[in-house]
A and B are shown apart, each in its own frame.
Chain A
Amino acid sequence: MNGLQIPMEQVLALAGILFSCGLLGLMLRRNIIFMLMSLEVMLNAAALAFVAAGAKWSQADGQIIFLLILTVAAAEVAVGLGLVLQIQRRFKTLDMDQARRLRG
């Protein structure tokens, strides 16, 4: 394998940082669109870890899983945006703290 060699540890660290950013965004943001974007960041962080692992052990599996995650993310965004439209239509807001009816 030739080309730019990036150490595994650095790639995993980047993936970890990205994942944590996404997680924090999911927990802290109240706007549903930002929550969806945070989800995308988390998915891509996981995908990056897969690709890195695949490159390290020269296995195609890592890239296959990356393609799978890409597909899942696309499908999830399609459904998610549809839900966002409905939420906006019904609650007239995208703030998820206000758009709730269930009270335990």
Chain B
Amino acid sequence: MTAIWLIPLFPLASATLLLLSAGRLPRQVAAVLGAGSVGLAAVCVALTARAFLADGEVREFTLWTWMAVGEFTPRIAFYIDGLTVVMMSVITGVGFLIHLYSVEFMWEDESICRYFAYMNLFVGAMLLLVMADNLLLLYLGWEGVGVCSYLLVGFWYRDPANGSAARKAFVVTRIGDTAMALGLFLLFTELGTLDIQPLLAAADSQWQVGDTLPILATALLLGGAVGKSAQLPLHTWLPDAMAGPTPVSALIHAATMVTAGVYLIARTFGLFQLAPPTQEAVAWIGLSTLLLAAFAALAQHDIKRILAYSTISQIGYMFLALGVGAYASGIFHLVTHAFFKALLFLAAGAVIHCLHHEHNIFRMGGLRTRLPVVFWSFLIGSAALAALPFTSGFYSKDAILLSAWELPGIGHWLWAGGLLGALLTGIYSFRLVFVVFFGEAHTQPDHQPGWKMSLPLAVLCVLSLVGGLLVLPLGNVFPPSGHHAAGHTIEYISIGTPLLGLLLAYLLFLGRQLPVDRLVDSAPGRNLRNFWLSGWRIDQLYDALWVRPFTSLSRWWRNEPVDRIYNAVVAFTQWAHHKLAALQTGELRWYATTMVFGLMLLLAIMLRNAT
């Protein structure tokens, strides 16, 4: 199938056109280009996926050699297997729906051209990331999505807060990216190649399980994955990244980019299997992140921050799955999460759009009858997020918890932690539904979402409901995980936990059966709430640990001796400038006279020297 190279080409070409137009294209053209290119890419992906599903054959496609430096010859080449097909389908499918939604959401914005240029660039970079045949091309896509994330978080750049959120996102992920680059250097010096499949084969033959080198290499790769996927300890950028437009949050900070870390670990799982300590670290990072973010989500009152923390929490589940070796379950959760999280964000965007950019959930309320389409979307999305039975999230989360249970040793602990997370997920997701859509109305919506907003919501609703029935073609990619032989009790517990969460949320926030207000108003309750509201005060911790020492150090070092020499040069030049400028009087006769006398002086000197 030769149309493979067309898949990233469409969005990249459209991004180039939109960028070169410098915002002069009419918004109709920008919208058609922006959404249409992703739609065309989605069609190409569908054709590729159909061909792949028909014969199950792995396709490799080389365009050209990127550069050739001695032994190092990375190619621009694509590697299409089951995992890539799944990722491409999610990126272009969900991506197209979000682009369509954006057409209506961003219609009034003056910079719609720039918006679609960045969005298309993002889709193109993300496609490069998942299609790359070697780790260097993957890294190109990896940095590309990072740049687009920065550009789109700070899209409304006139507000300095947005710019600082964008910088934070960029700098924090840069820490992880540096670790990942070091990991790539290490892999290349040790194994002599960056092509993923030969690299995995070479690692398998040269390294033993538990060697130091694979542990080091995977730890560095894990650093990159943790930064990009917003896991502990580099998760602090994601809640602030909600400063961007809501469809951006849906596409980049929920459905696709933040799952790049999950994809990286799944793609190089052969390395991680050689390094059991790192593998275990992945599981613990996932578990601690999912619990921490779930607690933080309980206390938020900004609708987008709740969803941001829930995203961090759900990616924690994916890391947990990768850590216990259930790669297929992790990718399955990635897919279902992309569906329901995109749905939730788009629905939240519709609420915000119809309520004059209101973000505080306690100033909403009673929207059930006023925005019925959004209400049903939100309800279905929250049900899938909380993993209520027979929604898509149920199937994927259930598979992860079962795999955790079956892991010998630490498995039961991981399972229990994941279960607690599921309970919290039930509480915070339905807290959101009950507060926003039930109760008294505080703000009136001024219009209903149009078809370009409603259609993506409807499609994503269907996908969130039945997405759990999808069978992903991952059989040949990952080693088969053992049959789930856990008893029925375990299954009943994992079905019942989200329902318990739903019940608790009902009692706390709708039925008012439990004294939630009195609980929050008491001193320890208020402290705990503020603690969670600030995200466990991790921002303040980093501020005290890194930011403030760094800024004070740089302020102190501003007057270092080397700098003083250069400052002295500058001061002397300025002084001389003021003195010499006095000669420039603008008097023509004065100029002529000085020239004459200068000439006479020169002549006198020459004559004296000649004699």
Contacts and interface: CB of A to CB of B under 8 A. Distances in A.
A60 interface: no
A97 B587 contact: yes
Interface stretch (A23-31, A44-52, A71-79): A23-31
A35 B590 CA distance: 13
B582 interface: yes
Contacts of B582: 104
Nearest to B599: A23
A26 B594 CA distance: 12
Interface string A92-104: 0000110011111
Main secondary structure of the interface of A (DSSP, over half): loop
A35 B584 contact: no
B584 A30 contact: no
B586 A27 contact: no
Contacts of A30: 589
A27 B587 contact: no
B167 to A, nearest CB: 45
A23 B593 CA distance: 9
Nearest to B586: A102
Contact of B592 (A27, A100, A102, A104): A27
Contacts of B587: 96-97, 100
Chain B interface size, as a band, is 10 to 19
A35 B588 contact: yes
B346 to A, nearest CB: 64
A103 B593 contact: no
Contacts of B586: 100-104
A96 B587 CA distance: 7
A103 B465 CA distance: 80
Contact of A104 (B583, B588, B596): B583
A102 B584 contact: yes
B581 interface: yes
Interface in B545-589: 581-589
Contacts of B585: 100, 102-104
A58 B607 CA distance: 28
Contact of B596 (A27, A35, A100, A101): A27
Contacts of A104: 581-586
Contacts of B584: 102, 104
Contact of A96 (B583, B589, B596): B589
B588 A96 contact: yes
A102 B582 CA distance: 10
Interface in A1-49: 23, 26-28, 30, 32, 35
A22 B587 CA distance: 18
A17 B339 CA distance: 99
A18 to B, nearest CB: 16
Interface string A51-80: 000000000000000000000000000000
B583 A27 contact: no
B454 to A, nearest CB: 68
A66 B13 CA distance: 67
Contacts of B588: 32, 35, 96, 100
A17 B534 CA distance: 92
A100 to B, nearest CB: 4
A30 B585 CA distance: 15
Contacts of A96: 587-589
B589 A27 contact: yes
Nearest to A26: B592
B210 to A, nearest CB: 79
Interface string B591-604: 01100100000000
Contacts of A27: 589, 592-593, 596
Contacts of B583: 104
Nearest to A24: B596
A86 to B, nearest CB: 15
Nearest to A103: B586
Contacts of B589: 26-28, 30, 96-97
A56 to B, nearest CB: 22
B588 to A, nearest CB: 5
Nearest to A30: B589
Contacts of A97: 587, 589
A68 B441 CA distance: 95
A104 B580 CA distance: 8
Nearest to A100: B586
A30 B590 CA distance: 11
A23 B600 CA distance: 13
A23 B596 contact: yes
B26 to A, nearest CB: 46
Contacts of A103: 585-586
Contacts of A23: 596
A77 to B, nearest CB: 17
Contacts of A100: 585-588
Nearest to B580: A104
A5 B538 CA distance: 105
B607 to A, nearest CB: 16
A102 B593 CA distance: 18
A70 B218 CA distance: 85
A97 B593 CA distance: 14
5 nearest A-B residue pairs (beta carbon): A102-B586, A100-B586, A104-B584, A104-B582, A96-B588
Interface of B: 581-589, 592-593, 596
23 contacts: A23-B596, A26-B589, A27-B589, A27-B592, A27-B593, A27-B596, A28-B589, A30-B589, A32-B588, A35-B588, A96-B587, A96-B588, A96-B589, A97-B587, A97-B589, A100-B585, A100-B587, A101-B586, A102-B585, A103-B585, A104-B582, A104-B585, A104-B586
Interface of A: 23, 26-28, 30, 32, 35, 96-97, 100-104
Given A32-B588, A100-B587, A101-B586, 9 more contacts: A27-B592, A27-B593, A30-B589, A35-B588, A96-B588, A100-B586, A103-B586, A104-B585, A104-B586
